[in-house]
Amino acid sequence: MARISLRKTVHLKLFSLLHRTGASACLLFALIQHVTGAEPLAPEDTKTHWVSQFFDTFTAATDALQWSDVRVVSNWRIQQHAQSKTYRLLDLSDHTVIEGSLRDCSTELCSNIEKGSVAPVKKEVVVVLHGLGESRGAMQPLVSFLEDNMTASILTFGYASPQAPLASHAHSLGRVLAGLPPTTNINFVGHSMGNLVVRRWLQDAQPEIIHRINRMVMLGPPNQGSDLAQLAASNPFLRNLASGAARELVLHWDRLSRELQTPPFQFGIIAGGKNDNEGYSPLLKGDDDAIVRVSETQLDGSGGFLVIPVRHSRMMYNKDVQEETLRFLLKGRFTQQSFPTSPPEK
């Protein structure tokens, strides 16, 4: 009886969260990843019931997906809420320091910088971007690896992917980059849709900032669109779940693709796949990482292309992905080069 009551309570809370946050598409995306081979949920005999674990994780994720960063200083960050447009300042541990106007948050941040609570930004910066339906925390395994092996400031950029179109996320990224010291050299590491945010930002970017960008590593980028998104578009129920940037990927790729710029700086691509003609997903044709086809990751002008046997949602945890990302950021090349297949015809 207790188990049934727990499930009923969690289901009601989950439905309420979905209704309030518009995060249905993100839940769908997470479920797709589980179906296609992500890590299994914990068994029921663990100390904390797996439904409760899922609910706690989902609650934290939905909160993160309501806010987009507009300024980041050594991972203290000012964020703007996607719906209310209010601002908040988070400290290094993601605790809310103050919530209110942009001026209030900026004043409090400057006060903490003057007191020495906020470390200064280093001359070399790596901006790490998560993918659709994820939060900054999804990138933490890769972030920790880069922090241990680089002298640069590793900054994560969070954006409310289901709440606004790609252009809005690109604008938020521009605000974060404009807030960096003018002497910093900038690098990017993007996962999945995070790469499209950078490519969309380039359309309206200021030349003086573009000139400061050194290199970029793209992890599992849907540079040529997504067949999985097109499968969702063909189903009325799934199509109606899509919101924000996900809706653009599902329904408006032809228009969106014309707004994406090829980076004018050095960039390398790491795709997940089995290096065969089957991949991880039975839903997709050819090699894939269970979400994005290998051929969909490709983009003319790349300085390196590599296929590593890893699923889309596990790239940040994979040791080979971490080491190859580091190598490209430092040296501008991967250990080896995979032979790219032709990009898919759209």
Name the CATH topology of 122-331.
Rossmann fold (3.40.50)
> If you write DSSP's letter for every residue of 130-145 in order, what string do you get?
--TT--GGGGHHHHHH
> If you write DSSP's letter for every residue of 190-222 in order, what string do you get?
EETHHHHHHHHHHHH--HHHHTTEEEEEEES--
What is the Cα 100 distance to its own chain's centre? Answer: 26
* Per-residue tokens: 259: 């707004």
| Nearest residue to 202 (alpha-carbon basis) of 263, 266, 129, 160 | 263
* Per-residue tokens: 272: 């997940």
DSSP label of 308: E
| Domain range summary for the chain, segments of one domain joined by + | 65-120, 122-331
Query: What is the full per-residue pLDDT of the chain (346 aa) written as tens digits?
Result: 444 444 444 444 444 444 444 444 444 444 444 333 344 444 444 455 555 555 555 565 677 789 999 999 999 999 999 989 999 999 999 999 999 999 999 999 999 999 999 999 999 999 999 998 888 999 999 999 999 999 999 999 999 988 888 999 999 999 999 999 999 999 999 999 999 999 999 999 999 999 999 999 999 999 998 877 666 655 565 545 555 555 666 655 678 889 999 999 999 999 999 999 889 998 889 999 999 999 999 999 999 999 999 999 999 999 999 999 999 999 999 998 776 554 444 4
Global confidence as pTM: 0.82
Q: Which amino acid would we find at residue 151?
A: T
Backbone φ and ψ of 337, nearest 5° = -120, 130
Residue with tokens 């004018």: 264
| Nearest residue to 194 (alpha-carbon basis) of 227, 163, 216 | 216
Residue 312 exposed, middle or buried by CB count within 10 Å (0-12, 13-18, 19+):
buried
Backbone φ and ψ of 272, nearest 5° = -95, 140
What is the Cα 134 distance to its own chain's centre? Answer: 6
Beta-bridge partner residues of 217: 189, 268
Residue with tokens 């090829």: 262
Whether the Cβ atoms of residue 205 and residue 262 lie closer than 8 Å to each other: no
